Amino acid sequence: MSAFAYESYLNASLSEQDPEVYDLVQKEKHRQQSSLELIASENFTSKAVMEANGSPLTNKYSEGLPGARFYGGNEYIDVLENLCRKRALEAFSLDPAVWGVNVQPYSGSTANFAALTGLLAPQDRVMGLDLPSGGHLTHGYQTDKKKISSSSIYFQSMPYRVDQVTGLVDYDALEANTHLFRPRLIICGASAYPRDWDYARLRKIADGHTSFLMADMAHISGLVAAKVQNDPFEYCDVVTTTTHKTLRGPRAGLIFFRKAITFSDGESLESKINAAVFPACQGGPHNNTIAGIAVALRQAASPEFKVYAQQVIKNCKHLCDVLSSAPYNYKLATGGSDNHLLLWDLKPLKLTGSKVEKICDLANITLNKNSIVGDKNAVSPGGVRIGTAALTSRGFVEQDFTKVAEFLHAAVQLSLDIQSHCIQQKQQQQAEGGKSGSTVVLLKEFVSAATAPEFEQRIQGLKDQVSEFANSFKMPGY
Ligand code: PLP
């Protein structure tokens, strides 16, 4: 390659080398800055984490573990991975004589599959919180018709659920079913559960069948590090997490394991988990990401992070209070929240989560539709999930969430008006045709009605207000 080609090809900036991708990055940055990010699984990581994540560490192969690699040139990568492991234990106040950690999983899903691979034999029995109850796919999810997740394809799965009235985990039913199913592993933790976990009760249930107990604390790990949630490490054998939710790091996963556990074949849990990550489930670790995790874990052990985590919870409680009290009086699953997320039950309004998600999206409010206890139709869930972790990273406090509640209320009122308009139109058409029929409004009819000028104008008005408000806050890392 000529010197000219080298400079223009390998050393050019992104904007010079690839304006198309550069432009998309700029647009996404602008979208993040000018919208209200309420997706409970997202956060805004720090500049230092992004710098580590975008560093030349991405160039290096390092299959294996520190001191036992399959490639040369790992003298700094070994130090980095050991530093990351040390910080992971420190961030959760764990004794290195009792707990070990693997920091190589590429994501939460691969961390969970590797943990299952290490703990279980193929077709062993697993019980996890069902997806419609707020559990994650990787906790054994399957439907009546299909095994969806590899955790149900390669293992036998029987879910436990939340109580259909209270929305709280039904520990009694779980316990009763363990007597029938005799699981080898019970998984706790969730993607959409607004309450804390009773790990002591779960340990007792697991001990009744010499089952392993694993917590997937992906959503709440930042809150656990800050000691504002119950501590899963007190009772569990294995704890997995993502690193990019409340922990506010880069996108990856971690697996913590108790070092003292050994299997009947004499192999330790530590050795099984490490072998499950590599070579069973993954190849070379993403060292740039491990550097980002190390940075995030150092931050998570700081007093500033504790203040952040406390504020995440205060903001969520405040948003719950505002939405559920006068003048709004909206219904929340379980009546509120102990953590960073709430589930808004839209069924009393006769609205679906998909419709509200759509209008919010058009108005620069980012959240997601979610099943709510009592939903009959999994395809069209009856609520939305809202989280406070990302906006708290932008400096939002309680009074800012009062404003967020106002915007959410406006989006819901708009959704109701669009839906009423659709129903009226249907009734009119039916009257004109001398017919009677269903007035159920399909999502595509609803979306089409939202483009009518009167609604488009109202949506644009809300979007302008939301953008102005969101833009008045700083963005971490930009
Ligand atoms: N575990 C839980 C509880 C989650 O909520 C998620 C993702 O949202 C995951 C695991 C999977 O993480 P990832 O998307 O990094 O694979």
Determine the atom of ligand 1 nearest the C-alpha atom of 109: 16
The answer to whether residue 234 is domain-embedded is: yes
Two structure tokens written together for 115: 């943990």
Instruction: Tell me the mean pLDDT in the region 142-165.
Output: 96
pLDDT of residue 3: 59
Question: 77: closest CA among 89, 88, 67?
Answer: 67
pLDDT of residue 56: 98
Residues 283 and 377 in one domain: no
* Mean pLDDT (the chain, rounded): 96
CATH of the domain at 339: 3.90.1150.10
Catalytic residues: 61, 63, 216, 242, 245, 251
Of the residues 138, 238, 240, 277, which should be mutated to test ligand 1's pocket, given the most ligand atoms within 8 Å of the CB? 138
Residues 200 and 335 in one domain: no
Rg (CA), the chain: 24
pLDDT of residue 380: 85
DSSP code at position 112: H
Residues 270 and 328 in one domain: no
Distance of CA 66 to the CA centre of its chain: 29
Taking CA atoms only, the protein residue closest to ligand 1 atom 10 is 108
The answer to whether residue 459 is domain-embedded is: yes
Residues 80 and 107 in one domain: yes
CA of 218 to the centre of ligand 1 (A): 6
High-pLDDT (> 70) share of the chain, %: 99
Question: Which residues fall within 8 angstroms of residue 246, CB to CB, at 6 or more apart?
Answer: 43, 219, 220, 221, 222, 223, 309, 312, 340, 389
The answer to whether residue 436 is domain-embedded is: yes
CA of 401 to the centre of ligand 1 (A): 26
CA of 254 to the centre of ligand 1 (A): 11
Tell me the C-alpha distance between 24 and 86, whole Å.
37
Two structure tokens written together for 243: 């690193």
pLDDT bucket at 374, cuts 50 / 70 / 90? confident
Residues 83 and 228 in one domain: yes
Q: 17-52, pLDDT tens digit by residue?
A: 999 999 999 999 999 999 999 999 999 999 999 999
Residues flanking ligand 1, CB < 6 Å: 41, 107-109, 112, 136, 138, 189-191, 216, 218-219, 242
Instruction: Tell me the mean pLDDT in the region 187-202.
Output: 98
| Minimum mean pLDDT range among 276-280, 300-304, 371-375 | 371-375
Determine the atom of ligand 1 nearest the C-alpha atom of 135: 3
pLDDT at 1 over 60: no
Instruction: Tell me the mean pLDDT in the region 67-88.
Output: 98
pLDDT at 166 over 70: yes
DSSP code at position 232: G
State residue 243 phi and psi, 5-degree precision. Answer: -115, 5
Contact 402, 322 (CB under 8 A): yes
Question: 101: closest CA among 290, 281, 247?
Answer: 290
Q: How many domains does the chain have?
A: 2
pLDDT at 310 over 90: yes
CA of 45 to the centre of ligand 1 (A): 17
Question: 337: closest CA among 401, 253, 414?
Answer: 401
Q: 386-437, pLDDT tens digit by residue?
A: 999 999 999 999 999 999 999 999 999 999 999 999 999 999 999 998 888 8
Q: Could you tell me the residue range of the domain that residue 231 belongs to?
A: 56-300
Residues 453 and 429 in one domain: yes
Last residue of a domain, one of 258, 281, 300: 300
Determine the atom of ligand 1 nearest the C-alpha atom of 251: 15
pLDDT of residue 437: 83
Last residue of a domain, one of 300, 326, 345: 300
pLDDT bucket at 13, cuts 50 / 70 / 90? very high
pLDDT bucket at 270, cuts 50 / 70 / 90? very high
CA of 28 to the centre of ligand 1 (A): 22
- Across 174-314, the runs of DSSP E, i.e. the strands, are 185-188, 212-216, 238-242, 253-258
pLDDT bucket at 2, cuts 50 / 70 / 90? low
pLDDT at 452 over 80: yes
High-pLDDT (> 90) share of the chain, %: 93
Residues 253 and 357 in one domain: no
pLDDT of residue 478: 85
Taking CA atoms only, the protein residue closest to ligand 1 atom 13 is 108
Contact 261, 237 (CB under 8 A): yes
CATH of the domain at 158: 3.40.640.10
Residues 278 and 311 in one domain: no
Contact 126, 251 (CB under 8 A): no
Taking CA atoms only, the protein residue closest to ligand 1 atom 5 is 191
Q: pTM for the whole thing? A: 0.97
Count of beta carbons in the 10 Å neighbourhood of residue 474: 12
Last residue of a domain, one of 261, 283, 300: 300
pLDDT at 451 over 80: yes
DSSP per-residue string spanning 397-459: -HHHHHHHHHHHHHHHHHHHHHHHHHHHHHHHHHHHTT-----PPPHHHHHHHTTSHHHHHHH
pLDDT of residue 4: 62
The answer to whether residue 460 is domain-embedded is: yes
By CB neighbour count within 10 A (0-12 exposed, 13-18 middle, 19+ buried), where does 53 fall?
Answer: buried
